[in-house]
Structure 1
Amino acid sequence: MARAQANGLELEYGTFGDPAAPPLVLVMGLGAQMITWEDDFCAMLADRGFFVVRYDNRDVGLSTYLDDLPAPDLGALFAGDLSTAPYRLSDLADDAVGLFDALGIARAHVVGASMGGMIVQQLAIDHPDRLLSVTSIMSTTGDPAVGQAEPWALAVLTRPPATTREQALADSVEGYRRLGSPGYPDDEAFLLAKATMHFDRARHPVGTLRHAAAVMASGDRTSGLHDVRLPALVVHGDADPLINVSGGKATAAAIPGAELLVIPGMGHNLPRAVWPELAEAIGRVTGQ
């Protein structure tokens, strides 16, 4: 792992593959660390001929925490007052461009999951000259009419942070299990090992709140996506309880010429069994 100066922040990042190969930058979601892009998946993409870069967004993992900023008032945001959101998705997109600059990347393929999908959509709108292609996974456009969570799934995501390590691990395992893929269930031992690795690396609940505020305050990207002229892939599971598949369908409809891949049985995660299909689809959109 390494750290790069980007957009006035320090971003923790890691790489796989040949630095001379076409760059492919992986962007993770709300409160999720870069290691959510599992090593074996990154290696699979590198084996296809990419220089793979994954990184921690601001306010998560080992990147800069913006704790000098106030915690957002989510109630006010729900009521339509956006003034307490300390930053927007456009700022997170600018962070990615800052990472490109720090690594000497002129243009990159980008792949984003969940909030990361929203960030790469914003990248395609704000910085199309820096992109080669865009892949949005289990994400949505920001249109409130699509991509809505099941109420129970939203409750899983928004419960108060645990106050002990034991409870934090238990909550993570429950969240992985309930939000994950019913067609590709993981065993409890794997989920506990994953929760432990993430907890021991870093934990920053208030940063997750600021991520949520950024999503809520950034509005609908549909009209901006209509102007995107990049090769695009949209991937979604038909069993996603956190961002309904209608969000993926709306994203694909908004981007001219985008390919839509709906994966049966996939929820709000990236199960190992779908990696080959996902890597093949990324290969199609990138021409790699």
Structure 2
Amino acid sequence: MDAGRVSLAYETFGSPDDPPMVLVMGVASQMLVWPDRFCQALADEGFHVIRFDNRDIGLSTHLDELGVPDMVALLTGQSKEAPYVLADMADDTAGLLDALGLDRVHLVGLSMGGMIAQEVAIRHPERLISLTSVMSTPAAHIGKPTDAAAATLMWPSPKTEAEAGDLAVNVYRVVGSTDYPQDVAWVRAVGEESFRRSSSSAGKVRQFAAILVSPDRRSGLRELAVPTLVLHGEDDPLIQVEGGHETAAAVPGARLVTYPGMGHDLPEELWPTLVGEITEHARTAGKES
């Protein structure tokens, strides 16, 4: 679907007659990382669920003409230059809503997707019925990753489908939940399928750069009147739980729910409560809007 400057690949679950719920994924991750059955569980609660590939990932437009930013310079503070910022990705999301003919939606963002969703709420508040920010943060310096988790962001990109599966498994061994079993077969399969869909790796560097250079969103979040839910794992090593606390503290009336033993993933054992929180929040906001 053409969202303006870029074309975004998307998929849907459930009936288009139901209220729309748009899912925004994180850095270096295709929409497949929203598990099919998780999306279907949301749809079964009475929502038309839409997941999509952000710019520079999967089957959406890859902006290779913008080059690859100097990550060493960005990480050491020697540069603040990036090809684009999270606000641009938020505008992509708003453009997708336009292309799909959706006036207002329930927006759910995970990790970088939560940052993008926050930007949509700030820049396009009239487009949201509700906002749910999952394992995210209002600024890159809040809830900074552990050293081990940060290192996974710099691991070499895979060159084969098998390597992509191995990389996904190894990353989630570091950043995933400690108190819940990892579905290793699913993680590997998603890694392999993601590589089959697109093996390009430069885009994830541009996405990461966008996170690093984007400004603190707390001042904008303080002006929101959008009903907001914040979900976060208490043992998240990639965006530590401080990110969730600071997001919820910034948004007037936001509700925060944290989960012991949950890391930077969506453990299947928590799906009933996660789906329940997201859909009940959306239903309540829908009645009030």
Task: Output the TM-score relative to the length of structure 2.
Answer: 0.94
State the distance in 2 between where 1:35 and 1:169 align. Answer: 13
- Give 5+ residue unaligned stretches, structure 2: 285-289
Once the two structures are superposed, residues 218-253 of structure 1 have per-residue CA deviations (whole angstroms, 9 ceiling, x without a partner) of: 021111110011110000001111000011011010
Corresponding residue of 1:97: 94
SS across alignment from 1:6: coil
Corresponding residue of 1:185: 181
State the distance in 2 between where 1:179 and 1:150 align. Answer: 9
Q: Report if aligned partners of 1:177, 1:185 keep a CA contact under 8 Å in 2.
A: no
State the distance in 2 between where 1:199 and 1:147 align. Answer: 29
Corresponding residue of 1:250: 246
Corresponding residue of 2:219: 223
How many Å apart are 1:120 and its aligned residue? 0.3
State the distance in 2 between where 1:42 and 1:114 align. Answer: 17
State the distance in 2 between where 1:65 and 1:244 align. Answer: 29
Corresponding residue of 2:139: 142
1:241 to 237, 241, 251: 237
Corresponding residue of 1:76: 73
2:156 to 156, 160, 184: 160
How many Å apart are 1:80 and its aligned residue? 4.8
Aligned CA distance change for structure 1 residues 126 and 187 (closer, same or farther; 3 Å): closer
State the distance in 1 between where 2:117 and 2:170 align. Answer: 28
How many Å apart are 1:274 and its aligned residue? 1.0
1:175 to 156, 171, 177: 171
State the distance in 1 between where 2:39 and 2:18 align. Answer: 14
Moved more, 99-108 or 72-81: 72-81
How many Å apart are 1:180 and its aligned residue? 0.7
- Give 5+ residue unaligned stretches, structure 1: none
Moved more, 165-174 or 45-54: 165-174
Q: Report if aligned partners of 1:233, 1:258 keep a CA contact under 8 Å in 2.
A: yes
Amino acid at match of 2:79: D
State the distance in 1 between where 2:114 and 2:78 align. Answer: 23
Task: Output the TM-score relative to the length of structure 1.
Answer: 0.94
Once the two structures are superposed, residues 75-114 of structure 1 have per-residue CA deviations (whole angstroms, 9 ceiling, x without a partner) of: 222315222x000100000001110001000011100000
State the distance in 2 between where 1:130 and 1:191 align. Answer: 33
State the distance in 2 between where 1:193 and 1:35 align. Answer: 10
Corresponding residue of 2:35: 38
Once the two structures are superposed, residues 246-273 of structure 1 have per-residue CA deviations (whole angstroms, 9 ceiling, x without a partner) of: 1101101011111101011110011111
Corresponding residue of 1:151: 147
SS across alignment from 1:223: helix
Q: Report if aligned partners of 1:111, 1:134 keep a CA contact under 8 Å in 2.
A: yes
The RMSD of aligned alpha carbons is 1.4
1:204 to 200, 203, 209: 200
Q: Report if aligned partners of 1:143, 1:222 keep a CA contact under 8 Å in 2.
A: no
How many Å apart are 1:197 and its aligned residue? 2.2
State the distance in 1 between where 2:245 and 2:273 align. Answer: 18
State the distance in 2 between where 1:187 and 1:38 align. Answer: 11
1:123 aligns with 2:114: no
1:64 to 34, 44, 61: 61
Moved more, 72-81 or 222-231: 72-81
Corresponding residue of 2:287: none
State the distance in 2 between where 1:56 and 1:81 align. Answer: 28
State the distance in 2 between where 1:193 and 1:172 align. Answer: 9
Corresponding residue of 1:88: 85
